[in-house]
Structure 1
């Protein structure tokens, strides 16, 4: 339950109004009661509550008219309708138009409390400016217990200079957490430099990280400092550290040990003072066993581990995130979208989200682009959730998927002959074997029964 949430009760039955007010107040809610639709609209113009509970039969303008007015003026404000037996058809129609729930009098107080809690959990509270004490984590939207515990730990970690390894599935927001740690640290005024080790081609990554001197390689027409030097005094965030080639792992380890960086093609070193934060969605323990990641570097980077939960394990944050994204995207695209129909928001909270927060953002962008009314309907959310989206994959994941499929096709084409497959790929056989090992592919599995098991040709 969202303790302290403000509720507006609308009912012309003064006894029921008083009874409900007492019961809801006893359960931690702040309750305001009015006896007409006109009084409710006047109250809404003064202060927006978290939820409206209204009887359908009211003097003058009835509850259905009030509901429709609220939908026009405050489309994201949840409404629960209370109905007498004869007005049930109206209430059923209202739920199709976006009412959070309807209850038939007399109703069970427990059921009402459950409906209130459900409506509040699906609706995001109005955005409030972050206090100066919370500004370090302003980009991270959450109210879940798992994220609260993680952020408390991150705040403590930020005060030290220890290296931090951030684990989590793709799309969970590892870079956002790294930025938050930087902002909460003593290095906040210095640079924060982020490098995606999987997105930069292997032959360019060394130069990007450490810089190069003029003539260090073909095309190096001038000397250039690297990103490690650019982060001097601040924080260097190495995303997808598990994709860093072994040769560069050695050089990075040397920088961490000596606190000195050497440009590519130079013997001279320059002292640097950087804090290293790194992140991965890969299993580095398995990568070490396979010889793909250096154990000494792992222990240098993994002084402290923070693990971001997948979005499916923090469902109470989905409504907050979806609403924040919708408001930002509506402003960006100059759309008049203000919120979600309750059933649309519920569909978002129940989705599986294999692509985590990144996928949620893409889905919200999809519905925002196609929305034609202030309230996003369920049908539009369902459509967006069904659309397979390439954007759900990170660049690294897309590249790895392509590489593996490419290798499989080559091995099928050559009946598992590594020499022939390597020749077609224009790679030497040693490098090709390394690629097969990376993706746990065994060439012998691709040899047909008729293929003679003869030694492969030596090159």
Structure 2
């Protein structure tokens, strides 16, 4: 039996035997997989911290630890990532223990390559069924979320799993992080995808209007109610209702919403009978609802109804690797809007974007890109225009200490890139000893592992 290969699935292969790594890499790449290799647990953790993988293949016996301990680390950091263990000294008790702890597979060396490929295909099909679909169809549910960061991809993996159920989800995150985008993605990945997705911002509508908007009203229910109005809860029947900034919902409406969730029925303002509704509730807030509970500003019973599953969106500063990707994405969109032929950002302009604070998160980045797109007179966006949009003083206006710190950090980054993360070589080029060089790296929060070269083992 053959199992279809998920197009472009990325595998992390961990073993301290270079010959085995090479042989397996060739076989896996020939089967359509993208392969990244590591020769130790430490090396593997560095890879996992900077890339997203669909499956991990690891030897049980590694020079700096064992595969089961590494598996436990992976399960804590990436709960949806399947792991297959390989060993030259396998036994039935070992295999039983490994599978009981959640390992996706356990193979004893020497193994048949075709059997391994079959096992990988089956594991990917079982743990990530969407990977078997064409790439465009697989990406459609989360097409609005642009990211390459590990933290976001782990979050999206969890969201995809949650979407299959009807559990209520509470999405937390600062303003501008994309809470509605994530809610919409969950809806599109769910069995309700073909039904309505109705979103309402509970903090943007006055309380009297919010009640009518949510629950609807009948004709004559109050002064000015000249006709019957279907509320958003009924409009979301068979679909998903997204309550943004639910922490701003007035206490009286919290009681009515709780009744809807308990009875699965809604009674419009002025009506004498309730109407059954079938819908899923997704909520979002940037408030600390735990503090609101302690201050009796949010109902505890409603909190537990909407917070069956909790997802936390990172700030843009916590996913800096996404900033260039997002900036280029917004630039393409806005260039079309303004009818301009733009080729991108100058390298120092991208560096300025990547190092900014971004208190307004992705929404602020989009606004900055729109401003530079509207004002630029050149195809390549210059750094000066980005600095103007960010309202920061140009680099030549930095104080001596600030300029020295920026130069020192950039210098260290260039050395690490040049030496592929080899600290000894970088320290020698800088004419410093290793201890002093490590102190410099620590001062600037730089990790050599992130610069270590991929070599021929990394996909082009």
TM-score interval (norm. to shorter): 0.5 to 0.7
Find out whether 1:341 has 2:341 as its counterpart: no
**Map of 1:221 onto structure 2:** 226
Residues 337 and 295 from structure 1, CA distance in 2 versus in 1: closer, same or farther, beyond 3 angstroms? same
Q: How does 1:242-321 map to 2 (within 5 A)?
A: 242-321=247-326
Check whether the contact 1:130–1:138 (CA below 8 A) recurs between aligned residues.
no
1:335 Cα deviation from its structure 2 partner: 1.2
Query: 4+ residue runs of structure 1 moved beyond 2 angstroms?
Result: none
Find out whether 1:158 has 2:163 as its counterpart: yes
From 206, 211, 222, the equivalent of 1:206 is: 211
1:295 Cα deviation from its structure 2 partner: 0.2
CA–CA distance in structure 2, aligned partners of residues 165 and 334 of structure 1: 39
CA–CA distance in structure 2, aligned partners of residues 155 and 339 of structure 1: 32
Deviations 1:370-411 (A, max 9, x none): 0111100000000000089xxxxxxxxxxxxxxxxxxxxxxx
**Map of 1:183 onto structure 2:** 188
Q: Unaligned regions of 5+ residues in structure 1, if any?
A: 5-27, 30-128, 389-459
Check whether the contact 1:326–1:338 (CA below 8 A) recurs between aligned residues.
no
1:338 Cα deviation from its structure 2 partner: 2.1
From 391, 416, 420, the equivalent of 1:386 is: 391
Query: How many positions carry a matched residue from both structures?
Result: 264
**Map of 2:141 onto structure 1:** 136
Deviations 1:245-268 (A, max 9, x none): 000000000000000000001121
Q: How does 1:64-103 map to 2 (within 5 A)?
A: none
TM-score of the two chains, using structure 2 as the length reference: 0.56
Q: Secondary structure of 1:181's match?
A: helix
1:286 Cα deviation from its structure 2 partner: 0.3
**Map of 1:326 onto structure 2:** 331
Q: Secondary structure of 2:138's match?
A: coil
CA–CA distance in structure 2, aligned partners of residues 291 and 203 of structure 1: 21
Q: Unaligned regions of 5+ residues in structure 2, if any?
A: 1-9, 11-34, 37-133, 394-460
Query: Based on CA coordinates, which of the two structures has the bigger radius of gyration?
Result: 1
Deviations 1:43-86 (A, max 9, x none): xxxxxxxxxxxxxxxxxxxxxxxxxxxxxxxxxxxxxxxxxxxx
**Map of 1:427 onto structure 2:** none
**Map of 1:371 onto structure 2:** 376
Q: Over aligned residue pairs, what C-alpha RMSD do you find?
A: 1.8
Find out whether 1:233 has 2:241 as its counterpart: no
1:130 Cα deviation from its structure 2 partner: 5.3
1:133 Cα deviation from its structure 2 partner: 1.2
Residues 253 and 136 from structure 1, CA distance in 2 versus in 1: closer, same or farther, beyond 3 angstroms? same
CA–CA distance in structure 1, aligned partners of residues 340 and 135 of structure 2: 25
1:337 Cα deviation from its structure 2 partner: 1.6
**Map of 2:197 onto structure 1:** 192
Residues 220 and 133 from structure 1, CA distance in 2 versus in 1: closer, same or farther, beyond 3 angstroms? same
**Map of 1:103 onto structure 2:** none
**Map of 1:350 onto structure 2:** 355
Deviations 1:18-53 (A, max 9, x none): xxxxxxxxxx99xxxxxxxxxxxxxxxxxxxxxxxx
CA–CA distance in structure 2, aligned partners of residues 304 and 182 of structure 1: 14
